[in-house]
Each structure stands twice: as structure tokens, then as C-alpha cells.
């Protein structure tokens, strides 16, 4: 990665992402006026006012391979008739603007309800049953691939960095010992219920393919399992609906605790990137790092 690209990612803020979005729109021949930032996380997401399009700005140039995978996966899923968000087809994507990969997606007009956990279980069951075509090259799931960059660039106390680096090494050792019993296949890689949308026709649609990969399905099941068993974000009934729809509860698997550690670590370092945005984000980061420091303590983390 170039020095300029590294600097662009290190200074990734909502204002900087907006400038990249505007430049990308100009390159694509789209009007960026009155575009609205709707999310700042691993990427910045903007909704255009001029056309029903979402613009997705990634943090840095080394996210370019992931952006290419996103585009390829979206096209494949559409060809399968799978209910997935659609890429804007008449553009050569991804764009690379000032060291930031940028992609354009059709806006999903939301209906009057959110997706359920039962629907998430069903979507994942259907996704995992698909056969990946020979021409679609997908990476393996990489739970640690972003952590070095996140830790190097995070604006957090030094003792937090020391602790997180130590925890990172411990989790890597545990990861090597994992023994999966399932065959590999298509995996979403970030399979939480917020990555499902229900459109105004009642269709449940899968979004966000940045972490899409070819690996064991446990990586998708761990998200909701940890959110329920560790964080208490779903009721027992909601989680039971998820398990019934998919057909498996990951909590019963011997590798669950390792995946729990990996998931909670990733949730903390993901949020850590944006502590400079506002005090609310910084406060939630402090809650999460405190939880990591005490594995046995109840988690009072908030969904983000």
C-alpha cells in the first residue's frame, strides 16, 4: 500500500469519506448534492438524493480486493436468483478514488418492518447450500486480517493497545487448534440481522458482502450465537427461531468459546476505529474493552 493510501485510511472520517464520495460520483456521472451519510463503520455509506443509489466508501486501498469480491459475489447471487442487494450494473466497479475503493449499489426501499432472526437463519441455510461456481475465486475467512492495521492506527490508550495485542496472539493460538466438522462453502462473513433488509414488497434481502468467503459455515453462525449467549441481544424466543430455521445451535459445539473470543475481539476493534467521531462511540468502546478485560463479567455492550 502506498504512503498516500495509508494516510488516507488513517484519517478516515465522515468528512473525508464525503469528499471521496463526491469525487466518485463525479467520476460515475452521478449527482452527489444533498447525499446523506447513513453509516460510518468499516466503510462509509451514503444515500444519494438524486437517484436511488447507495455509495460505499472503503477505508483504504488494501480493501480493493474485498471490494472486487463484493462486486463479483453480488453479480453471482443475482444470477442465482438469491435475494441479495444489487450492484449498479452500468458502471465499471470498483472505483479507486484517492486511495479508497468505492462501489455503487441500488437503494433498497425499506418496508415497515425489520427482518427477524428466523429469517436470518433461513437465509443463511439457503446461502450455505449454494455451490460456488468455478470462476468465482473467494478467499478463506480471515478473522485476524484487519487487526494489525486497526491496532496500529487506533486513537486509544497505549495500555489498551498492549492488552489487545496480547489478546490477539492468544486468540490466534486458539484458532490454530479449531477443528471444524462441516464442509466448506459460501460464507457471508458478517451474518448479523442488520445485514438483512426487508423491502417495501416484503422481500428479505441480504446485504454487505465485504467479508464474503469460502469457508466453514460456523463463521456465520457465531455472530448470532455470541449476540445471544454472551451479549443477551436477543430473547430466547428470537434465538430459538434462528436455530429452528437454520437447524443448528453453535453453542453446543466445542469450538464455540474460541469463536466467541474472536467475535467479541472483532466487535471491539471495529468500533475502536471511530472513537474520534463522538463521545457516544468512545463510551461504547470503553464498555467493550472493559468487557474483554474480564471474560467472566456480564456484557453491557450496546448494539451499534
Q: What is the pLDDT of residue 295?
A: 84
Please tell me what DSSP assigns to residue 303: -
Which pLDDT band holds residue 9 (cuts at 50, 70, 90)? very low
Q: What is the pLDDT of residue 102?
A: 98
Round to whole Å and give the CA distance between 82 and 289: 38
Of 190, 244, 259, 181, nearest to 216 (Cα)?
181
Q: Calculate mean pLDDT across residues 198-215.
A: 96
Round to whole Å and give the CA distance between 121 and 140: 22
Tens digits of per-residue pLDDT, 50-73? 999 999 999 889 899 999 999 999
Report angle CA 231, 188, 22 to the nearest 5 degrees: 95
Give the cell for residue 153.
492506527
Asked if residues 271 and 281 have their Cβ atoms less than 8 Å apart, the reply is: yes
Of 281, 300, 280, nearest to 290 (Cα)?
300
Q: Calculate mean pLDDT across residues 222-230.
A: 96
Q: What is the pLDDT of residue 215?
A: 98
pLDDT surpasses 90 at 156: yes
Q: What is the pLDDT of residue 101?
A: 97
Mean pLDDT of the chain: 93
Give the cell for residue 190.
458478517
Of 256, 221, 257, nearest to 242 (Cα)?
221
Q: What is the pLDDT of residue 11?
A: 62
Round to whole Å and give the CA distance between 214 and 159: 36
pLDDT surpasses 80 at 10: no
Q: Calculate mean pLDDT across residues 129-144.
A: 94
Report angle CA 40, 46, 47 to the nearest 5 degrees: 140
Q: What is the pLDDT of residue 89?
A: 92
pLDDT surpasses 80 at 245: yes
pLDDT surpasses 60 at 167: yes
Q: What is the pLDDT of residue 5?
A: 41
pTM of the predicted structure, to 2 decimals: 0.87
- Say how many Å lie between the first and final Cα of the chain, rounded: 30
Amino acid at each position: 500500500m502506498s504512503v498516500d493510501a495509508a494516510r488516507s485510511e488513517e484519517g478516515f472520517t465522515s468528512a473525508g469519506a464525503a469528499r471521496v464520495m463526491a469525487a466518485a460520483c463525479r467520476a460515475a456521472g452521478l449527482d452527489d448534492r444533498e447525499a446523506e451519510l447513513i453509516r460510518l463503520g468499516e466503510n462509509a455509506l451514503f444515500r444519494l438524493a438524486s437517484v436511488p443509489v447507495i455509495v460505499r466508501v472503503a477505508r483504504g486501498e488494501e480493501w480493493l480486493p474485498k471490494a472486487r469480491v463484493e462486486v463479483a459475489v453480488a453479480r453471482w447471487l443475482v444470477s442465482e436468483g438469491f435475494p441479495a442487494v444489487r450492484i449498479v450494473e452500468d458502471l465499471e466497479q470498483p472505483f479507486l478514488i484517492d486511495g479508497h475503493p468505492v462501489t455503487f449499489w441500488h437503494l433498497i426501499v425499506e418496508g415497515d418492518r425489520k427482518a427477524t432472526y428466523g429469517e436470518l437463519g433461513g437465509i443463511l441455510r439457503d446461502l450455505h447450500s449454494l455451490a460456488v461456481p468455478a470462476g468465482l475465486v473467494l478467499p478463506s475467512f480471515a478473522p485476524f486480517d484487519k487487526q494489525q492495521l486497526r491496532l496500529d492506527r487506533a486513537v486509544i490508550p497505549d495500555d489498551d493497545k498492549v492488552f489487545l495485542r496480547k489478546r490477539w496472539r492468544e486468540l490466534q493460538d486458539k484458532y490454530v487448534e479449531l477443528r471444524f466438522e462441516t464442509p466448506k462453502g459460501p460464507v457471508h462473513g458478517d451474518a448479523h440481522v442488520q445485514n438483512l433488509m426487508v423491502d417495501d414488497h416484503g422481500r428479505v434481502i441480504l446485504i454487505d458482502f465485504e467479508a464474503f468467503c469460502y469457508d466453514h459455515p460456523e463463521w456465520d453462525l457465531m455472530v448470532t450465537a455470541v449476540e445471544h449467549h454472551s451479549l443477551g441481544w436477543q430473547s430466547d424466543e428470537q434465538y430459538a427461531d434462528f436455530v429452528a430455521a437454520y437447524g443448528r445451535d453453535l453453542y453446543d459445539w466445542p469450538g464455540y468459546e474460541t469463536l466467541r473470543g474472536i467475535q467479541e475481539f472483532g466487535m471491539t476493534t471495529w468500533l475502536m476505529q471511530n472513537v474520534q467521531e463522538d463521545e457516544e462511540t468512545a463510551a461504547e468502546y470503553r464498555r467493550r474493552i472493559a468487557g474483554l478485560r474480564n471474560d467472566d463479567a456480564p456484557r453491557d455492550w450496546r448494539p451499534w
